[in-house]
Structure 1
Amino acid sequence: MMTIQKKIWILVSVVLLIMGIIWLTLTSYNQKTQEKSNDILQRYLRMNEVTTASQQIITNLNNYLLDPTANHKQQIEKSVAVIEEVQQDVAELRNVENAFSITNYIHLIDSLIETTNRSIMFSEEQEMEGSTNEFNEANRISMYISEMTLTILDRELKTSNRFYRGIIKQSEELKKLGIWLLLLITAVLLLAIYWFSLSITRPIHQLTKAANALSQGSFNQQIEVKSNDEIAFLAKTFDEMRVNINDLIVEIQQKAQLEHELQHSKLLLKESQFRSLQNQINPHFLFNTLNTLSKKAYLDGAEETSDLIVSVAGLLRYNLKRIDRSVTVFEEVVVLNQYMEIQKARFTDRLQFKSDIDESCLDVKIPGLTLQPIIENAVIHAIEPEQDGGIIWFRIKNDGPWVIIEIEDSGQGMSPKKVEQLLKGHIIPIEGHSTGIGFQNVVKRLHLFYGIEDLVTIESREGRGTKVVIQIPRAREEGNDDEASNR
């Protein structure tokens, strides 16, 4: 979407781009002109340095001939070094127009240096006449250098004059170009501003026209704005508002219908709660009846029958009160023993139950009815099908921050495939029974209670029994108990 802000930024960017191009062009032109001027100035300075250096050599040579000391000779060597350095710079000034003059100029400098050296040599050999002749020759060469310097500079001035006149002419042309560019930029900006204002005012006019029609009660005319900025989004929202107003009455009717259905659902919920309360009456009545029968059997001398009825009553009471809350491992062990007493009465010598319990683990919290469904599966699938019965081992171990509960039987076991299916929540039919419902209920409640997965594992091989291992953490986050109960 091309927003209004983006359009403004595009317009500003175009203007800045044009101004930047003009500025870069003028800066580049000024830089080249300045470099050319500096180059001409450096040529003048180098030529002047040659004249000054040659005259300095003559002066130092004269001083040496009058007083041939080491100091004066050292000054001559310094002057010669200076003119040699300047000579290299002058060689770089050679071009097509002054190649011949610069070459002669360099040769004169070489002649001056050689003549100076010969004058010094004759002076050191005490040949004063030869030394004086070489001095006069060096002085004459120095004068030639000065004259040729003036000649070359005069020629350079004529060339520079043409250069400066060209600069003046280009400046006048740049002035005219600047005027035309200013007019062109002004025209472009006027067109851009007109296009920008039109892209804003036209959609606003269309939106205003649609709003007037809407205020007169015309809700059937669709609002269309051909734009791609915020005004188009506003028009689309305005059109959605028109549609919403048309649908408002239908929505109110639907809401009234939903409220009616909600009131009906509330009545059904109350009826369901009442029926649930009625269903709870029968287990409590059965529990009270079992207590009465237990006392009657005890009074009649049937103590084993009385104990069995007490175990059934305790198991029923535990099921009624503990399924929705946490208990201690001790309470689970108590109800487990009651369940096993009932099963021992049923299977007599066919069932052997062996337990090994670490009493330091009995105060750990656990969801209610966690162990009894697993023991029940062991009785159904490991003891009941076997003619000679079997053994069930029940162990509770302390493993640092964990409590390990093991329920092992001596049954026929399961294949790895059936173990995997059981852990994944599948219901497995085994010899007229099915397993998986109660087991998965235990697994899910443990996960909800502790907030940890994979607390239950199964170790089983065909023909070698089955072991169910439950890992219970000693410490758990506060509030999980209530959360598990609510779930």
Structure 2
Amino acid sequence: MNKIHLNDIRIKNKLLLIYMVSVFLPIVLTNVIFYHVTSENVRNQKIHDNELALRQVTNGFKQGVEDAAGIASVLYSDAFVYEFLDKNYESPLNFILAYNTHFRDINKFTPVYSSIRSIHLFTDNPTVIKAGGIYDINEEVINTHWYQSTLEDRNKYPVVTRRTEDDGRLEQFVVVRALDSNASVTNEKVIMINLNDRFIHQIFANETFEGELFLLNENNTIEYTTDNSIQWQSDYIPFTSIDIPDNAIVLEESYQMQYMSDWKLVGVIPEDQLLTEVQKSLPSILYLALWNFVIPSLFIVYLAGNIHFRLNTIVKKMRRVKDQNFELIEGKPYKDEIGVLTTEFNRMSKKIKDLINDVYIVKIQKKDLEIQKKETQLKALQSQINPHFLFNVLETIRMRSLLKEEMETADIIRNMAQLLRNSITWDKDFVTVKEEVQLIQAFLEIQKYRFDEKMQYEIHLASRAEHILIPNMTIIPFVENASIHGIEPLKNNGKVKVYIEIKDKHLECIIEDNGVGMTESKYQEIMQSLNMDEIAGESIGICNVYQRLRMYYEEHFTLNITRNKKEGITIHLKIPLNMDKEM
């Protein structure tokens, strides 16, 4: 009787035998034992992991509140801030000088702490101008939730509460601290530090915690929760009214801080959720037997036959090479060892040079040039507002302020500050339409101030279009061109009209003026420059807007420049609604 040697067994049978002895049987036995042993370990480990996640959320929110409370304490002890709000100013100019000296230093805390959104000062001092982060303590403010809820304790220490939004929802967290330590002061002064909503959301949106989070105040009512089924924004809801399953695991972390006394963070995790993954694996064990025996066996037979076929194909092609028949092996160049052999055989047969590396380098260089060009175009946009125009306006304001004692100078200075701030700093690529219109109105108010009745304007903004996000400084370059190049050279009175509304899922902007218009040659020059990669000439503002819109929206926007039959220019801009851009 002949003995069977392993080398005499076909490859597919060898693979199947190896699989059964070395993989299938050990896996089945190990899984049965492992399921029972690990179920309890997984449960304990997940509880421990969720405790760590809950503690992480607790410390994150605590750190944000402590940052705000620390800033409030610093400002409370700042004598300059106290004097700034308590002093009776003889004129608005004296207040503006004090504002520029003291209040600007307060804003230095905002960019340092990601948890801080803004700092507001409240006072009932009648000589203080209520603008630019300073608000009046009037009857409306006194009746607000944050004012009443912090009335007893804010003179002693910072108090954490929530501010009521315009729609009546309790959402934004604020830290409130009175700047007066006694009731004998003349003017009431309160500082409010607004916590960043995105920071709060990121803290509580901890993906490692598998249940729902509840932030409770000293009255055991819900201040914040990740459970979307609870309407916690509209009113304070007692935690005891929440339906918690009997088998749920409740974890708790307390806040040991004076201004958050008896606050705590509670995490609720259903018991079955801890072992969901383990329980799901039980049916898998049954299917595993089928998978580990029948399907893998068929796969091994197929794999062995595939290996034999591919190796046999290479051998046949190599035998033909000696007869100078360089026939290529057709098919996809796979990445395994047989695929490497096939690729090298084809490369040898075709006798071609390897150009892949050179082509790759050329493509990288081309992309780098395109990126540099786009960055240059974006940086060029920041200088769109003509410096000579700004200097002329400032000189006009100065001369008229000397000749006339006009209070409107304060408004012009505010508008100029808004324009300068937006043109010099570029902190975000996208703004709302409302913010863009505010900048346009500031610009046109300055023009109207310069030219009196010669300059008129009309702005129509649909309410539903106010919060649509558009690229920063998209509309104002057209308004600037209409005013400077259209209305200023006009001998008679001129008018600029701006219409913004939503039509057919697009934001439609129409800028129209009755100015001197433009010549045919100038019109053709502008239209040709829109499709040029290089930005140059007098139409740099329009070209910048066009190039940026093409970068963001590709070919999904339209820009039409029309020369009116009688006089002036009409700009018609349509861009798709872009609600998911981050500001």
Largest Rg, 1 or 2: 1
TM value normalised by structure 2: 0.31
TM value normalised by structure 1: 0.36
Higher strand share: 2
